[in-house]
């Protein structure tokens, strides 16, 4: 008599009984065959259980790992040159999580180039840039809105859906998510309007919605309210406040000192490609440390 021990939800016991009966009838080959089937089942079930346990351990390890972040963004003695002209000159700066960082300074100070460098669109000529401690970091967690964003030849909602598709959002979620983003930036009711027929302020808000489609950790804005009237400027600033309150790090440039006062948690004053002064906005506006900052605050030209 051949007996195989163990139990798989009662099935092993049935197989053991069948083997005993077949053996008692003298059918030893059949009994051996049934035994081999049973042994195979036991091995397969044990292997599956082991695989599930290992998968669970790997999942637990992944979920316990700290999420990847691009913050802080650290520039160490960074310069950018083009055609023999120095655009950024030995800048050392750290951009950390928290309230918005606002870049101010005259035209040609290097603000736009600094934003492009932080985005990863251009490399430094010298020095080092790290994102969350990494020198090589894809721009997955960063988004940028240029001063004059290009509108696609489709509706406002179509522009947002395109950005959602580029961000890898499943097709089934895009329509609803596009409406949510449109509402966030104050474009409810304008979803079907051709994007190129929107006003300047509306186009800027649409560009913000497209940037937010990728759910960035860092949002870079190049003079987002330039040439806008007060009402359009307020609408943009309201969106920026919402974005910053959600935990997204905003780094933006502006020529409007009033806007800098309203939005900034940190100020970076630039001139001729260099950082002249940086620090908490309240301290900067109350008591700037450098003569250049004091002159700029008085409205004098920095040359």
Asked if residue 21 and residue 144 are part of one domain, the reply reads no
Asked if residue 116 and residue 99 are part of one domain, the reply reads yes
- pLDDT greater than 50 at residue 128: yes
| pLDDT value of position 96 | 97
**Of the listed ranges 58-67, 131-140, 191-200, the one predicted with least confidence:** 58-67
Asked if residue 134 and residue 53 are part of one domain, the reply reads no
Share above pLDDT 70 across residues of the chain, in percent, rounded to a whole number: 78
Pick the last residue of a domain from 64, 86, 103.
64
CA–CA distance, 266 with 101 (Å, rounded to integer): 5
Domain assignment of residue 186, yes or no: no
Instruction: Express each pLDDT in 16-27 by its tens digit.
Output: 555 454 555 556
Domain assignment of residue 256, yes or no: yes
Q: Whose structure tokens read 């330039």? A: 226
Region of residue 36 (phi > 0: left; psi between -120 and 50: alpha; otherwise: beta): alpha
Asked if residue 223 and residue 203 are part of one domain, the reply reads yes
Asked if residue 265 and residue 116 are part of one domain, the reply reads yes
- pLDDT greater than 80 at residue 32: no
Domain assignment of residue 99, yes or no: yes
Sorting pLDDT into bands at 50, 70 and 90, what band is 2? very low
Tally of domains in the chain: 2
- pLDDT greater than 50 at residue 3: no
First to last CA, the chain: 103
Domain assignment of residue 291, yes or no: yes
Domain assignment of residue 139, yes or no: yes
| pLDDT value of position 62 | 40
Q: Tokens for 122?
A: 């251009």
CATH number at residue 110: 3.40.50.300
**In sequence order, what DSSP letters do the residues of 218-244 get, joined into one string?**
EEEEESTTTT--HHHHHHHHHHHHHHH
Domain assignment of residue 267, yes or no: yes
Asked if residue 128 and residue 36 are part of one domain, the reply reads no
Asked if residue 114 and residue 58 are part of one domain, the reply reads no
Domain assignment of residue 219, yes or no: yes
Pick the last residue of a domain from 64, 84, 103.
64
Asked if residue 46 and residue 18 are part of one domain, the reply reads yes
What angle (nearest 5°) sits at the alpha carbon of residue 294, between those of residues 288 and 296? Answer: 120
Domain assignment of residue 1, yes or no: no
| pLDDT value of position 295 | 96
Asked if residue 139 and residue 55 are part of one domain, the reply reads no
Pick the last residue of a domain from 46, 64, 82.
64
Instruction: Express each pLDDT in 234-261 by its tens digit.
Output: 999 999 999 999 999 999 999 999 999 9
Q: What is the pTM of this model?
A: 0.78
Segments forming the whole domain that contains residue 95 = 73-158+195-297
Asked if residue 130 and residue 49 are part of one domain, the reply reads no
- pLDDT greater than 80 at residue 35: no
Asked if residue 154 and residue 38 are part of one domain, the reply reads no
Asked if residue 201 and residue 55 are part of one domain, the reply reads no
């Amino acid at each position: 008599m051949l007996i195989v021990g163990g139990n798989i939800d009662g099935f092993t016991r049935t197989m053991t009984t069948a083997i005993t009966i077949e053996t008692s009838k003298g059918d030893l080959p059949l009994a051996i065959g049934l035994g081999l089937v049973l042994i195979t089942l036991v091995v397969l079930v044990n292997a599956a259980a082991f695989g599930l346990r290992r998968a669970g351990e790997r999942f637990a390890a992944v979920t316990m790992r700290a999420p990847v972040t691009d913050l802080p963004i650290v520039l160490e003695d960074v310069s950018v040159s083009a055609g023999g002209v120095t655009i950024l000159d030995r800048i050392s700066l750290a951009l950390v999580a928290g309230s918005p960082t606002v870049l101010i300074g005259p035209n040609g100070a290097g603000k736009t180039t600094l934003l492009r460098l932080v985005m990863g669109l251009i490399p430094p000529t010298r020095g080092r840039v790290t994102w969350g401690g990494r020198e090589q970091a894809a721009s997955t967690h960063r988004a940028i809105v240029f001063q004059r964003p290009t509108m696609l030849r489709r509706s406002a909602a179509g522009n947002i859906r395109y950005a959602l598709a580029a961000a890898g959002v499943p097709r089934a979620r895009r329509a609803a998510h596009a409406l949510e983003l449109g509402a966030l930036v104050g474009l409810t009711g304008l979803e079907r309007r051709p994007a190129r027929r929107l006003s300047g302020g509306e186009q800027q808000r649409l560009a913000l919605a497209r940037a937010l489609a990728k759910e960035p950790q860092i949002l870079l804005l190049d003079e987002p309210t330039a040439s806008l009237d007060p009402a359009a400027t307020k609408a943009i600033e309201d969106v920026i406040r919402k974005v910053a309150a959600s935990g997204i790090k905003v780094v933006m440039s502006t020529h409007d000192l009033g806007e800098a006062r309203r939005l900034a948690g940190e100020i970076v004053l630039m001139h001729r490609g260099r950082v002249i002064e940086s620090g908490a906005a309240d301290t900067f506006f109350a008591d700037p440390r450098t003569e250049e900052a004091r002159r700029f605050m008085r409205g004098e030209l920095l040359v």
